[in-house]
A and B are shown apart, each in its own frame.
Chain A
Amino acid sequence: MNETIGAFLALGGSIFLLLASVGMLRMPDYYNRMQTGTKATTLGSILFLVGLGVMRPEWLGKMLLLVGFVVLTNPVSSHALARAAHNARAKLDKVGKTVLAVDALADAEDAATDAPARAAGNGEAEHA
C-alpha cells in the first residue's frame, strides 16, 4: 500500500519536473525561465524524493534531509543567477533580449549613478 502511494507521489513529482522543462523551453527570456525552472523543479523534486522515502521508509530521514537541502539551495542559486544576469544585462541583451514592462532595479541604479540625468516620470524606462 505504502509503495503504491509513494510511487504515485513520485509520478506527480516527475510531471512537475517535465512542466519545468517545458516552461524553460517555452518562456521568452531567462528571467521567466528561472521562474518556471526554480519553482517547478523544487516541488517536483520534493514530491519525487518524498515518494521514494514513502516507498522505502528506512530512507525517509535521508530523503527529508535532501528535500530540506533542495528547498534551501534552489532559490539561493536562482537569486545568484538572477542578480548576475541583471548586472551583466548590457552584454546579455546583445545575444537574447529580455521582456520587461518595468525595471525598478535599473531605475534605482540609474538614479544612484547619474541623479541629474534621471528622466522625469516614475520609471517607464525599458532597457532594450
Chain B
Amino acid sequence: MADTVLLVASGIALAALVLAGLRMVLGPTAVDRTVALDGMTIMALSLIAAYAYFTGRGIYVDVAMVYGLASFAGVVAIARYLEGGLK
C-alpha cells in the first residue's frame, strides 16, 4: 500500500520534472531557463531521496544532499554570470 502510493508520488514528481524541462527548452530568456533548472534540481533531489527508499540504501540520501549543495552553488553562479555578463 505505502509503496504503491510512494510510487505514484514519484511518478507525479517525475511528470513535474518533465514539465519543468519543457519550460527550460521553451525559454525564451536565460532567466526562464535558470528558473526551470532551479525547480528541476529540487524535484530531482526529492526523486533521489525516493530512490534511496526504494533501494533501501541510505547512501543515496547523502547523494541527494550533496546534489542539493552543488545545484544551489550552480544556480547562484549562473545568476552572477547573468548579472555581470548581460549588463
Contacts and interface: CB of A to CB of B under 8 A. Distances in A.
16 contacts: A4-B1, A4-B5, A10-B9, A15-B12, A18-B13, A20-B20, A30-B31, A33-B35, A37-B36, A42-B42, A52-B50, A66-B61, A74-B42, A78-B38, A80-B75, A83-B79
Nearest to B11: A14
B68 A69 contact: yes
Contacts of B38: 37-38, 41, 74, 77-78, 81
Interface in A8-30: 8, 10-11, 13-15, 17-18, 20-22, 24-25, 30
B72 to A, nearest CB: 4
A75 B61 CA distance: 22
B23 A25 contact: yes
Contacts of B27: 95-96
A7 B3 contact: yes
A63 B23 contact: no
A30 B61 contact: no
Interface of B: 1-6, 8-13, 15-20, 22-23, 26-32, 34-36, 38-39, 42-43, 45-46, 49-50, 52-53, 58, 61-62, 64-65, 68-69, 72, 75-76, 78-80, 82-83, 86-87
B30 to A, nearest CB: 7
Interface residues of A, number: 56
A56 interface: yes
Contacts of B69: 69
Nearest to A93: B29
B19 A92 contact: no
A8 B65 contact: no
Contacts of B76: 76-77, 80
A88 B16 contact: no
Given A17-B43, A45-B43, 16 more contacts: A7-B3, A14-B8, A14-B13, A14-B16, A24-B20, A33-B35, A45-B45, A49-B46, A52-B52, A58-B58, A70-B42, A73-B72, A80-B80, A81-B38, A81-B82, A92-B31
